[in-house]
Structure 1
Amino acid sequence: MLHGAGGRGEPPGGSRDRSPRSAGGDPVTAWRAVVGRPVGALCLGWLVVVVTACLGADLLAPYDPQEQDLTAVYSGPTGAHWLGTDQLGRDVLSRVLHGGQVSLLVVGQALAAYLVLGCAAGVLAGYRRGWLDRVVLRVSDLALSMPAVVILLVVLAIFPHDESAAMVTLGVLSAAGLARVVRASTLAVREEPFVAAARVAGLSTPKVLVRHVLPAVVGPVISLVALVAGSALLVEASLGFLGLGVQPPEPSWGGLITEASQAIYRQPWLLVPGGGVVASTAIACAVVGDVLRDATDDRTSREPLSWRRMRTPVVRRAGGPADDTAVLSVRGLSVRLEDGTTVVDDVAFDVHAGTALGLVGESGCGKSMTVSAVLRLLPPGAVVEAAEVRFAGRDLVALDERGMAGVRGGGIGYIAQDPVASLDPLFTVGSQLAEAVRHHHRGATRDEVRRRTVDLVEAVHLPDPKGVLAKYPHQLSGGMAQRVAIARALAGEPSVLIADEPTTALDVTVQAGILDLLRELRERTGMALVLVTHDWGVVADTCDKAVVMYAGQVVERADVRRVFDAPRHPYTEALLAADPNAAAPGARLPVLAGAVPAPGHWPDGCRFAPRCAFATAECARPVAETVGHGGSHRCVHPRRDTTTGAAR
């Protein structure tokens, strides 16, 4: 009866992308989220009022619940009896308040059994594992398969009219679902470094569980308790209505509903106080539980997403014209977040067919945000401002979301930073590639889709294509997953392929294979490549042109050979000097002191000035981009060419 509240399996999502603290949630933050939502605050306020009034029934009730007034039978609401009277002239308000003491008490007993047994079994099973884990899972399966109504009827047959026994039994049966949820959260927490550190420090197992594990799983627990409380209240009212619970003349909420049903033709009003308080309290518990669940879940703790918020708005701004000879030309591209912070500022670049462009810079310079802005794949609330974003002659700034959906994949392919995370773990490689093929080749038959998926796997040089197509993402190595991601990006035969850090976290030999593959695909298909990286070796090996970014700006752009031979901007020069691939054996590697300033904290003048060894007072004013010598740079003190003596 309450099994649905706990669920039959572990919560989806796992713990790979969420820390246990965030997965479990902060109870204080969760309750603030309830209060911060009008419906949640209203329902929580109702629960507080009902519980407080019932607990203080001896002080608040205007009459004794058994006091009869035969002159005011079925009176309806009056000044003397605010909620009317029943068939014996007893005050309904007093009976509701005193009946709440009985009903809420047995509901509390059910919740106590639910909490104690469910949390204890879940934490111990998830932390200790082994035979205890297996026993808990099997017992949970058995409890979840039992018909709760039948079990309650058996208990009441053994203990007639004993609501406490029935509700404790209900809590025990329902605890199986909570145990599974707590076990899943505990499995994530037990692998965290802070738990290992506590064990190394000598803390006993009970202390580790109480101080480090339970606080991390309390979030989903409190949301489930609120949901189960409403269900338990309905069960208690049902038992009273059937005459299996507290017997008259003792008041209970279920008994009040029974009395009202017997007088429905004479005084229908009596259904409102008894039925209304049960229904409204159960609904309030369900709403509070839903809000708590959302507040303790990373995916929904922020403002709920809508299709409108997921669409990135684009604002046209003044700027230079696009390069009509380039397959992708960007001018004046800026990105502003919902809070007004600018993270990309006036970026421009061109990519020609069959060439490769490298976006280079430290982490936090805005490289990934720039390519995401081109595809309008930005966080909700972000705004793109651009003078021109032109792809294959099409003005992307003027396109709506439907038009951009036609460009993504089919015109501009994208490879994410984490290839494994970009693949759905529930589907095989073949099904995900087939999905992309069907989307870009509408009307293709099943055999055509199958042949195309095999061709894609063969194109990225994966051995045993049919075997790879049958695998799930977790069965792939990092290099295999990256090649699958490239194959999916190629499903729409794009003219431009954007690869965001495609060799990150791969070993050297796998990196070389991925770069060779990208180079081969570019030469064979003639597509353009935009490569986001911080590795100068990747730029030298793969790219024709380089765009160096710092603090959201382009500080230098030129041919790759020119950048390596004669960098103009001090930042470019410092990055090249700190490249381990170019270091002399035994020599100390130069280190660029400081860090990239965060968006919103950029200097007013040259953004690299606080870290630049050549900065002067002149650098405190805004620096415009200077074009010349086969490229451009944004510096008032450009580095000088050692061969000609001229400013680079």
Structure 2
Amino acid sequence: MTDVAVNPPPAAESPRFVKRLLRRRLALACLAYLAIVVLVAIVAPILLPDAAGQQAGDLALVRQGPSAEHLLGTDTLGRDVLTRLLVGTQVTILGVVEGLLVTALLGVPLGLLAGYFGGRVDRAVMWGADIFLSIPAIVVVLMVLSVFRQSMLAGMITFGVLVSPALMRVVRSAVLPIRNELYISAARVAGLSRTYILTRHVLPRVAGPIVVQLSLLGALALLVQTGLAFLGLLVEAPAPSWGGMVADGAKVIVLDPWLIWPPGIAIAASILVFGLLGDSVRDAMTEAWASPVARRRVSNSKAGESREDPERTGSEALLSIRGLAVSFRRPGGSAVQVVRDAELDIKHGEVLGVVGESGCGKSATAMAVLGLLPSGGAIDGGSILFEGRDLASLNENELHDIRGRGIGLVSQEPMVAFDPTYRVGWQIGEVVRCHHGSRMSRQAVKDYVLELLRQVNLPDPASVARRYPHELSGGMAQRVAIARALAGEPKLLIADEPTTALDVTVQAEILDLLRTLRAERRMAILLITHDWGVVADICDRAVVLYAGEVVEQAALGPIVAEPLHPYTRALLATNPQGRHTGRFLPTIPGTVPRPDEWPQGCHFRTRCDLSTPQCAAQPVELEEIGDERKTRCIHHHVLRK
């Protein structure tokens, strides 16, 4: 089953960052000003080599105002003010660059690490930042300059170290919400390294706050540099600097107030430009993207098409979970268990459906398999055997080797699983390069990306690869997400409600696609859903979860025809598919209890019509009933027909 676009429009070209920035006149003016300042800093000392060491000028022209011969007048020693202002630009700008460079080299990496890793790393970095922020920076700078006299390098390095925690905290705050976004988890599942994710996905997203903060710190660095030069601590006379020129003018401000204006205006204008440029860069990076173009689709699928049962590679399970327990730690410190004694098996080439209401622990179980539990989550016990390796005992580096190549993930919200700042073709390509890069050329990677897009039945793969995520419809985005999950050629694909956000037609197309991929690749699929129609359409077996426990598992036919747990029976009864119009749809009374409110004994007993005092006596164990069939109900014999 494929999507056929009717007159698809060309992909909209979102302007690059530089183009968006250069469209702003204010940004152009600021960049032009800084370019002129940098050019002057480089060229002036070359063209005017004698100005830096000039002790005195024409003493007959002391403190002269602006004239044709001296455009900005002369100073107290008869030297040309314009010449000294131009030559002094170099030392002033050099001090600002030194301070900003040290600040960025310390603040950005440490902020990224603290925000992304959290935990002990975050506490250690923030503890150090708090200590440095409590130190009076200017006092320490003065102490350093008392040891390293007239050393601008020592002074500005000290300044950069002491103000880097301010940048560090901004970066950390910007990274914290990003690390929990789905596309970061998708990148980790795809097998991308943490260094790659930090530099290519996290850093570009926080570049705006970094640039704005650096612009403010640049203005601060300029003030500090000129202030220290004003005190004569950085630049030794007679070498010119903007701060030194202000100091010279301040000595004779009563006799000649003009001398403080040229360097003062240069300092004020530069500080203003730093602030305005930071705002322009921030606005350019967060500029709204064009809204996606709606597209119409026609379907050429055949209703009721039977699914193909691929040949099994053997009876040994590809993934086997036994006694899995997952808990999350509360802010107060206590832990709450959300999954208890979970058990399931999935064979090579098999499609296993995991069914249950929201809050039953389906996604927590899947994330435990991938080692991607949210912050505070932990595996308390049990084993997760994948090809004989216990994933629950592996460290992050070992899990990294399995994600993407061994196990892939497709989420229910594909739009947020992609980085909005990169084209989807590039994002698939990075997964290909991660797993096959050493053996594939750049052109081969591009060709493989297009082949993956063809395999998921996308028309005009080249056009789709050039699009940004917001330019895709829901069905196209889900197909692209599947293509990326397939880039590492995984043996197991975890599909977490992949059709929930899609309309009925597109839902059927995605299920047909998964069925085809399973047959062609002999790939196992763990399908998480709450829809029995989806389970019946594609799954071989089903596992039913309720309140953190597996309550029943069996082959699809028996579990539908003769459910052996009251919850399974209730779920099947509430399924709207196949119901006659006009009849009331049964509902399950009550709601799924919160993990900290699970009933004693059977978790379903408070909503069950078969409940007896025996159900509350003790926890009910998962009992094997027949061949490859299990249930967690002591009254299962009552449910047999």
Normalising by structure 2, we get a TM-score of: 0.53
Which residue of 218, 222, 234 maps to 2:224? Answer: 234
Q: Which residue of 2 aligns with 1:454?
A: 450
Q: Which residue of 2 aligns with 1:530?
A: 526
Name the CA distance, whole Å, in 2 between partners of 1:344 and 1:581: 29
Q: Which residue of 2 aligns with 1:514?
A: 510
Q: Which residue of 2 aligns with 1:435?
A: 430
After superposition, give the CA deviation of every residue in 1:344-365 in whole Å (9 maximum; x if it has no partner): 1111111112221001111111
Change (3 A) 1:225 1:342: farther
Q: Which letter maps to 1:468?
A: V
After superposition, give the CA deviation of every residue in 1:36-70 in whole Å (9 maximum; x if it has no partner): 966676677778xx9xxxxxxxxxxxxxxxxxxxx
What residue ranges of structure 2 are gaps of 5+ in the alignment?
Answer: 1-92, 101-121, 140-208, 232-243, 254-313
Which residue of 622, 635, 640 maps to 1:625? Answer: 622
Q: Which letter maps to 1:368?
A: S
Name the CA distance, whole Å, in 1 between partners of 2:490 and 2:127: 48
Contact 1:570–1:639, Cα closer than 8 Å, also in 2: no
Q: Which residue of 1 aligns with 2:373?
A: 378
Equivalences for 1:32-51 in 2 at 5 Å? none
Name the CA distance, whole Å, in 1 between partners of 2:392 and 2:518: 26
The share of aligned pairs that are identical, in percent, is 47
Q: Which letter maps to 2:557?
A: R
Q: Which residue of 2 aligns with 1:637?
A: 635
Contact 1:332–1:385, Cα closer than 8 Å, also in 2: no
Q: Are residue 613 (structure 1) and residue 609 (structure 2) matched? A: yes
Name the CA distance, whole Å, in 2 between partners of 1:226 and 1:41: 20
Q: Are residue 325 (structure 1) and residue 316 (structure 2) matched? A: yes
Q: Which letter maps to 1:627?
A: E
Q: Which residue of 1 aligns with 2:572?
A: 576
Q: Which letter maps to 2:560?
A: F
SS in 2 for 1:568: coil
- Measured after TM superposition, the shift of residue 447 of structure 1 is 2.8
Q: Which letter maps to 1:506?
A: L
Q: Which letter maps to 2:322?
A: R
- Measured after TM superposition, the shift of residue 531 of structure 1 is 0.1
- Measured after TM superposition, the shift of residue 391 of structure 1 is 2.2
Name the CA distance, whole Å, in 1 between partners of 2:432 and 2:132: 49
Name the CA distance, whole Å, in 1 between partners of 2:349 and 2:373: 27
Name the CA distance, whole Å, in 1 between partners of 2:476 and 2:637: 43
Contact 1:569–1:639, Cα closer than 8 Å, also in 2: no
SS in 2 for 1:537: helix
After superposition, give the CA deviation of every residue in 1:303-353 in whole Å (9 maximum; x if it has no partner): xxxxxxxxxxxxxxxxxxxx9611221111122234422221111111112
Name the CA distance, whole Å, in 2 between partners of 1:439 and 1:44: 40
Name the CA distance, whole Å, in 2 between partners of 1:475 and 1:602: 44
- Measured after TM superposition, the shift of residue 466 of structure 1 is 1.0
Equivalences for 1:223-622 in 2 at 5 Å? 234=224, 237=227, 241=231, 242=244, 244=246, 325-338=316-329, 339=333, 340-441=335-436, 442-620=438-616, 621-622=618-619
Q: Which letter maps to 2:462?
A: K
Change (3 A) 1:550 1:243: same
- Measured after TM superposition, the shift of residue 613 of structure 1 is 2.5
- Measured after TM superposition, the shift of residue 440 of structure 1 is 1.9
- Measured after TM superposition, the shift of residue 604 of structure 1 is 2.5
Q: Which residue of 2 aligns with 1:317?
A: none
- Measured after TM superposition, the shift of residue 611 of structure 1 is 2.0
Change (3 A) 1:43 1:459: closer
- Measured after TM superposition, the shift of residue 235 of structure 1 is 7.2
- Measured after TM superposition, the shift of residue 495 of structure 1 is 1.4
- Measured after TM superposition, the shift of residue 483 of structure 1 is 0.4
Change (3 A) 1:223 1:447: closer
- Measured after TM superposition, the shift of residue 580 of structure 1 is 1.8
SS in 1 for 2:558: helix
Name the CA distance, whole Å, in 2 between partners of 1:424 and 1:223: 23
Contact 2:412–2:501, Cα closer than 8 Å, also in 1: no
- Measured after TM superposition, the shift of residue 640 of structure 1 is 2.9
Change (3 A) 1:430 1:43: closer
Contact 2:350–2:524, Cα closer than 8 Å, also in 1: yes
After superposition, give the CA deviation of every residue in 1:113-133 in whole Å (9 maximum; x if it has no partner): xxxxxxxxxxxxxxxxxxxxx
Equivalences for 1:153-168 in 2 at 5 Å? none
SS in 1 for 2:488: coil
What residue ranges of structure 1 are gaps of 5+ in the alignment?
Answer: 6-32, 51-218, 251-322, 644-648
After superposition, give the CA deviation of every residue in 1:572-593 in whole Å (9 maximum; x if it has no partner): 1111122222432111112222
- Measured after TM superposition, the shift of residue 419 of structure 1 is 0.9
- Measured after TM superposition, the shift of residue 231 of structure 1 is 5.7
Contact 2:352–2:525, Cα closer than 8 Å, also in 1: yes
- Measured after TM superposition, the shift of residue 236 of structure 1 is 7.9
After superposition, give the CA deviation of every residue in 1:408-455 in whole Å (9 maximum; x if it has no partner): 111211112221111122221211122112222231122322221121
Equivalences for 1:127-166 in 2 at 5 Å? none
Q: Which letter maps to 1:362?
A: E
Name the CA distance, whole Å, in 1 between partners of 2:555 and 2:608: 23
After superposition, give the CA deviation of every residue in 1:94-151 in whole Å (9 maximum; x if it has no partner): xxxxxxxxxxxxxxxxxxxxxxxxxxxxxxxxxxxxxxxxxxxxxxxxxxxxxxxxxx
- RMSD of aligned residue pairs (Cα, Å): 3.8
- Measured after TM superposition, the shift of residue 383 of structure 1 is 2.5
Pick which of 239-248 and 386-395 moved more.
239-248
Q: Which letter maps to 1:372?
A: M
Change (3 A) 1:446 1:230: closer
Contact 1:428–1:472, Cα closer than 8 Å, also in 2: yes
Paired positions, count:
378
Change (3 A) 1:475 1:629: same
